[in-house]
Amino acid sequence: MRLLILGTGGMANQHAARFKAIEGVSVVGGVDVIPERLAAFCTEHGIATHFLSLEDALAWGEFDAVANVTPDSIHHPTTLQAIAAGKHVFCEKPLATDAVKAMEMTEAIERAGKVGMVNLTYRNSPALQKGRQMVLAGEIGAVRHVEASHLQSWLVGRHWGDWKSESKWLWRLSRKHGSNGALGDIGIHIVDFASYGSGLDVAHVFARLKTFDKAPDHRIGEYDLDANDSFTMNVDFTNGAIGTIQATRTAAGQMDQLRLKVYGETGSVEMIYDTGKSTLRACIGEDVHTATWRDVPFDPVETNYQRFVQAVRAGKTQEPSFRRAANIQKVLDKALASDLSHKDEALT
């Protein structure tokens, strides 16, 4: 499989390294509008061919698939161009900045008969995959209650860099630069984590979003710091269960932690991803009478990168698909609407 990487910012390095490690995959080209960044990226990863526009890359056309690692607001137009050119697409999350655009991309790639998948990276957690299997197998009975959180702290600590001076962080805080804040950036991850891990779909959302004061006049250089930093959701699931889903960038002491607790009628399971480490715990069987939690072993799982390559070779999309990401985007859109209306919003 010949792969073109579109957008050569920080996350593109992960794409290049992960795809190049898969037997039979060649990263044959790179695209970026910033010449210096493009040149440095292609040199680092040994990519011989590069372009300053997607149009030029598509005119060349010597590739089978595109890894779209552009900023969020650019996913929609560039993905549609790639689909129109007959290419498979592996898109960074979120698929688009709203559900209407995301569904347009979904329908376009399904009509074209091409593989469209989204890099919901925490699907790579073996604890999530094993925990979901346990829930679907009925090991905790019918799900009654769900708690989910995604906690980061880069607005507090400098362990990932200095957000006040680096554009790769500042754009995530600015709506005019295409950011929907914590809701758009990590909200898609934790909503997917909660929904996928519990095996349930969200039916109703009541949400609150918060943007904190972070600089004089809420601005640093060209960046208006107006995107949300934290959110909470109360949700109903389609089976009648209820839950809470929350995320923030201000959780000191948490670099990158996703935690999901699924409580059922006969037991509970907890799935944790914490800065690269997965943990799975359960309270099931006789242990429910003593409130005893035990670690549950799990096996390694294939990554999204591996699944995408398999899907292209087989000509059949695997999960997480464009349609899955579009449906999650509907939840995020309803959360935005709920914050404005102060009302419960139903998924339709």
And the tokens for 291? 């409130």
Q: Are residues 26 and 151 in the same domain?
A: no
Q: How far apart are CA 248 and CA 226, in angstroms?
A: 15
And the tokens for 347? 């998924």
Q: How far apart are CA 217 and CA 148, in angstroms?
A: 33
Encode pLDDT of 166-201 as tens digits: 988 998 999 998 889 999 999 999 999 999 999 999
* pLDDT average, residue stretch 4-9: 96
Which distant-in-sequence residues (6+ apart) come within 8 Å of 100 by Cβ? Answer: none
Domain-embedded: residue 307: no
User: The domain that contains 11 carries what CATH number?
Assistant: 3.40.50.720
The rounded mean pLDDT for the chain is 97
Q: Are residues 238 and 90 in the same domain?
A: no
Domain-embedded: residue 313: no
Share of the chain above pLDDT 70, in %: 100
Q: How far apart are CA 156 and CA 165, in angstroms?
A: 14
Domain-embedded: residue 308: no
Domain of 276, in residue numbers: 122-302+318-346
Encode pLDDT of 218-237 as tens digits: 999 999 999 999 999 999 99
And the tokens for 224? 């208006």
Is pLDDT above 90 for 34?
A: yes
Q: How far apart are CA 4 and CA 177, in angstroms?
A: 25
Domain-embedded: residue 88: yes
Domain-embedded: residue 193: yes
Q: Which amino acid, 111? A: R
Domain-embedded: residue 16: yes
User: The domain that contains 223 carries what CATH number?
Assistant: 3.30.360.10
Contact 341, 209 (CB under 8 A): no
Encode pLDDT of 89-99 as tens digits: 999 999 999 99
Q: What are phi and psi of 313, to 5 degrees?
A: -65, -35
Q: Which amino acid, 200? A: L
* pLDDT average, residue stretch 203-213: 98
Q: Are residues 261 and 166 in the same domain?
A: yes
**Residue 129 — pLDDT band, cuts 50, 70, 90?**
very high
Contact 314, 94 (CB under 8 A): no
Domain stop point among 121, 137, 164 = 121
Domain-embedded: residue 309: no
Q: Are residues 258 and 184 in the same domain?
A: yes
Domain stop point among 81, 103, 121 = 121
Q: pTM (2 decimals)? A: 0.94
Q: How many of the other CB atoms lie within 10 Å of CB of 236?
A: 18
Q: Are residues 79 and 157 in the same domain?
A: no
Q: Are residues 135 and 254 in the same domain?
A: yes
Domain count, the chain: 2
Secondary structure of residue 151 in the 3-state scheme: strand
Secondary structure of residue 3 in the 3-state scheme: strand
Contact 211, 181 (CB under 8 A): yes
Q: Are residues 80 and 221 in the same domain?
A: no
**Residue 144 — pLDDT band, cuts 50, 70, 90?**
very high
Position 153 scores a pLDDT of 97
Q: Are residues 85 and 175 in the same domain?
A: no
Encode pLDDT of 45-61 as tens digits: 999 999 999 999 999 99
Position 167 scores a pLDDT of 87
Give me the helices (H) in the chain, please: 10-20, 35-45, 54-60, 75-84, 99-112, 126-136, 167-170, 181-185, 187-198, 304-314, 322-341
Closest CA to 50 of 27, 73, 69, 71: 27
Q: Which long-range CB contacts under 8 A does 39-48 form with residues at least 24 apart?
A: 41/5, 41/8, 41/12, 41/13, 41/16, 42/8, 44/13, 45/13, 45/16, 45/17, 45/20, 47/5, 47/16
Domain-embedded: residue 312: no
Q: Are residues 170 and 198 in the same domain?
A: yes
Q: Are residues 197 and 298 in the same domain?
A: yes
Q: Are residues 178 and 212 in the same domain?
A: yes
Q: Are residues 55 and 101 in the same domain?
A: yes
Domain stop point among 95, 121, 147 = 121
